C-alpha cells in the first residue's frame, strides 16, 4: 500500500491506468488497493470519473533513509500500520539487540498509560518506541519518564519555538492541553540485562477532534497553524533522546532536576493525586532527585513515585 500512497501523496488526481502502470498492476487491482487504503488505514480517497483518484488531504510519510542516515549506528524500523510500536519493539528485542527505534505511520492498538487507548491516525502524528538497555543497575531508570519528557519538550521547542511545559510524571502540555504522552515498559529480568521500551506519542498534524480522546488535547499543527515535517521531528526527537539518555545514564535525573522544574506546569498548584483507590490532596511543591512528586499534605511534605495527577478546582474542599 505504501507504493500507492507515495504516488497519491501529492494530493493531485491520478488516473487508475496511470497508477496501474506505475505499480505494474491492473486498474481493477488499483481500485482494490484504494479500498484497502480507506478501510484499513482510514484514509479518505476521492474518486472522480474521468479524473481518477486523489487523497482528500495530502500525505506526508516518514522517510526511513533520511532518519537512518543521521543515525547510522541505530537500527531504525518504520512500519506502515501495526498494533503498537511498543509491542513491536518488544517482539524485535527477542531477535535484535538494543538500542533501536521503532516508528509507525499508524497504530491500530496504540497504548496509553493506565490502559487507555492512544489515538494514532495514519501519517498524522509521531509514534515512536525507543529501546534502551539498562546496563548500570535499576537506578538508571529513576526519574526516566521525566527525562524523556525533557527530550520531547526540547524537540518541540526546536521545531516550533514553543516552550511546552511538563506535567508530572510525563505529559507534555501546550496551553494546558496534552500534546504528547510517554509510556515506559520494563522488559526482562531486573537482575540480568533488562531494557526499557520508551514509547512516545506526539500529536503533530492531527486537527480533527476524535471522540475517543477523553482528555483535552492539542497538536503542534493546531498550535502553530503550519504542517509539521514528521521526518524532521522524528530526527530531532531521536537526537534529543540520545543526548538526554546519555546524561541520565552518566549523571542521573538529579543532574536535570532544575531543568525539569523550570518547565514544571503545575508548580505550586493545588492538586489531587490518585493512587489506586486512594486520593491524596495537597499542594505540588516540586520533584525529588529520583523524580518523585513532592506534595505538601496537611503541612507535611510527602513524596510519591506513581499516581495520576489532576488539578484541584477552587470549589473542592
Ligand atoms: C500516555 O497515556 O500519555 C502515554 C501515551 C504513549 C503513546 C505512545 S505512541 C508510541 C508508543 N506505542 C504505543 O502503543 N504507545 C506509545
Q: Looking at ligand 1, which residue's alpha carbon is closest to its atom 15?
A: 111
Check: CB of residue 222 under 8 Å from CB of residue 208: no
* Ligand 1 closest atom vs CA 201: 9
Asked if the model's pLDDT at residue 180 lies above 80, the reply is: yes
Return the half-sphere exposure (C-beta side, CA atoms, 13 A cut-off) of residue 316.
11
What is the distance between the alpha carbons of residues 314 and 317, in angstroms, rounded to a whole number?
8
Ligand 1 in reach of 129 Cβ (< 6 A): yes
Residue 113 alpha carbon, nearest atom of ligand 1 = 2
Q: What is the pLDDT of residue 6?
A: 87
**CB neighbours of residue 23 within 10 Å:** 14
Given a contact cutoff of 8 angstroms between Cβ atoms, the answer to whether 114 and 172 are in contact is no
Are β-strands 293-297 and 300-304 bridged in parallel, bridged antiparallel, or unpaired? antiparallel
For each of the domains in the chain, give its residue range(s) and CATH number, in order of start: 2-55 (1.10.10.10), 64-261 (3.30.930.10), 270-316 (2.30.30.100)
pLDDT (tens digit, 9 = 90+) per residue, 32-83?
999 998 888 888 889 999 999 998 877 889 999 999 999 999 999 999 999 9
What is the crossing angle of helices 144-160 and 230-251, to 10°? 140
Distance from residue 114's CA to the centre of ligand 1 (Å): 11
Cβ–ligand 1 distance for 170 under 6 Å, the answer no
Residues acting as catalytic residues: 113, 178, 312
pLDDT tens profile 184-243: 999 988 777 899 999 999 999 988 766 667 788 999 999 999 999 999 999 999 999 999
Using most ligand atoms within 8 A of CB, pick from 149, 200, 203, 216 the residue to mutate for ligand 1. Answer: 200
Answer yes or no: is pLDDT of 274 > 80.
Answer: yes
Whether the link from the prior residue into 13 is cis, omega within 30° of 0, is: no
Amino acid at each position: 500500500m505504501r507504493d500507492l500512497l507515495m504516488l497519491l501523496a501529492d494530493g493531485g488526481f491520478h488516473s487508475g491506468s496511470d497508477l496501474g502502470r506505475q505499480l505494474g498492476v491492473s486498474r481493477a487491482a488499483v481500485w482494490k488497493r484504494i479500498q484497502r487504503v480507506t478501510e484499513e488505514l482510514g484514509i479518505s480517497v476521492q474518486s472522480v470519473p474521468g479524473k481518477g483518484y486523489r487523497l482528500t488531504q495530502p500525505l506526508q510519510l516518514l522517510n526511513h533513509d533520511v532518519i537512518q542516515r543521521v543515525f547510522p549506528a541505530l537500527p531504525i524500523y518504520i512500519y506502515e500500520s501495526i498494533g503498537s510500536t511498543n509491542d513491536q519493539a518488544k517482539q524485535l528485542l527477542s531477535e535484535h539487540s538494543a538500542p533501536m527505534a521503532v516508528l509507525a505511520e499508524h497504530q491500530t492498538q496504540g497504548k496509553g498509560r493506565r490502559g487507555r487507548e492512544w489515538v494514532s491516525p495514519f501519517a498524522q502524528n509521531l509514534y515512536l518506541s525507543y529501546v534502551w538497555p539498562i546496563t548500570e543497575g535499576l537506578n538508571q531508570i529513576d526519574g526516566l519518564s521525566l527525562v524523556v519528557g525533557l527530550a520531547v519538550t526540547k524537540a518541540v521547542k526546536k521545531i516550533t519555538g514553543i516552550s511546552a511545559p511538563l506535567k508530572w510524571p510525563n505529559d507534555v502540555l501546550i496551553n494546558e492541553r496534552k500534546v504528547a504522552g510517554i509510556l515506559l515498559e520494563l522488559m526482562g529480568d531486573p537482575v540480568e540485562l533488562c531494557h526499557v521500551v520508551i514509547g512516545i506519542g506526539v500529536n503533530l498534524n492531527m486537527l480533527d477532534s476524535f471522540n475517543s480522546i477523553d482528555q483535552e488535547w492539542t497538536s503542534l499543527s493546531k498550535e502553530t497553524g503550519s504542517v509539521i515535517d514528521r521526518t524532521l521531528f522524528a530526527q530531532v526527537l531521536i537526537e534529543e533522546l540520545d543526548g538526554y539518555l546519555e546524561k541520565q545514564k552518566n549523571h542521573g535525573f538529579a543532574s536535570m532536576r532544575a531543568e525539569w522544574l523550570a518547565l514544571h506546569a503545575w508548580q505550586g498548584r493545588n492538586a489531587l493525586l490518585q493512587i489506586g483507590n486512594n486520593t491524596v490532596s495537597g499542594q505540588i511543591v516540586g520533584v525529588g532527585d529520583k523524580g518523585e512528586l513532592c506534595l505538601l499534605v496537611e503541612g507535611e511534605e510527602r513524596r510519591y513515585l506513581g499516581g495520576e495527577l489532576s488539578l484541584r478546582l477552587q470549589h473542592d474542599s
